[in-house]
Amino acid sequence: MVAFNWKALESFPLLMYILAAKTLILCLAFAGVKMYQSKKIEEKLKREREQKLKAEAEKKDEFLTRGFPSQEDEAFLEKKDG
């Protein structure tokens, strides 16, 4: 018959609590890193979106100012031609 050392099992509950605590700490750490990364990516996308909108607005303003002459420009051209 095989002799089993029952003294080794006395610390088993403590080892399980340590394992559970370690698992919980690791899960919380990974969740925190994931939140940090997603926040960082979201800020980057927001900045890119703002830059894109700003560039489009500038392009639109440039088109409006160059594409269509204002009343002052038309008056100046009429004086110049006339």
* Long-range contacts of the stretch 9-15 (C-beta < 8 A, 24+): none
d(CA 38, CA 46): 12
pLDDT of residue 1: 59
Q: Which residue ranges of the chain lie beneath pLDDT 50?
A: none
18 SS3 class:
helix
pLDDT of residue 8: 76
pLDDT of residue 77: 67
pLDDT of residue 62: 72
Residue ranges of the alpha helices (H) in 1-82? 12-67, 71-81
pTM metric for this prediction: 0.52
pLDDT of residue 23: 98
